[in-house]
């Protein structure tokens, strides 16, 4: 696949389109467990978000890798960081690091126990 701006825009739009359903898909098990444990609704929602984000980012990162290849992934991230506004922060490359994803999962599990 060619590394063109049009392809980067297509991948960027697809990431936004699939992020919502994928986020919901990974959030509902945490929500059900937190409701079984009779946790407050605000903690449940925050925990769902913290729990689902790492898995969603993994799926989106895989989508980028499959679409343009792992060797050219950095070109996409550089293009994305040159976009105007705060939308470039949603899929920032730092969020795709394993350390950040594990921290988010641990925070959600700690929140479940509180």
Cα 104 to Cα 3, 46, 48, 110: the distances in Å are 32, 11, 11, 10
Three-class DSSP category at 104: helix
Buried b (16+ CB within 10 A) or exposed e, 6-20: ebbeebbeebeeebe
Domain count, the chain: 1
Q: Supply the range of the domain harboring residue 106.
A: 5-113
Positive or negative, the Cα torsion across 44, 53, 109, 34? Answer: positive
Render pLDDT for 20-53 as a digit per residue (tens, 0 to 9): 999 999 999 999 999 999 999 999 999 999 999 9
Condensed to tens digits (0 to 9), the pLDDT of residues 96-109 reads: 788 989 999 999 99
Entry pTM: 0.83
Give CA–CA dist 41/111, Å, rounded: 12
Structure token pair of residue 50: 């913290």
Token reading at 21: 């359903």
């Amino acid at each position: 696949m060619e590394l063109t701006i049009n392809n980067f825009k297509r991948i960027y739009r697809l990431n936004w389109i699939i992020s919502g359903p994928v986020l919901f898909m990974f959030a509902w098990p945490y929500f059900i467990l937190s409701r079984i444990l009779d946790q407050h609704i605000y903690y449940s929602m925050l925990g769902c978000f913290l729990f689902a984000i790492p898995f969603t980012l993994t799926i989106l990162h895989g989508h980028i890798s499959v679409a343009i290849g792992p060797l050219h992934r950095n070109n996409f991230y550089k293009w994305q960081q040159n976009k105007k506004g705060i939308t470039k922060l949603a899929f920032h490359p730092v969020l795709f690091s394993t350390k950040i994803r594990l921290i988010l999962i641990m925070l959600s599990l700690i929140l479940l126990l509180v």
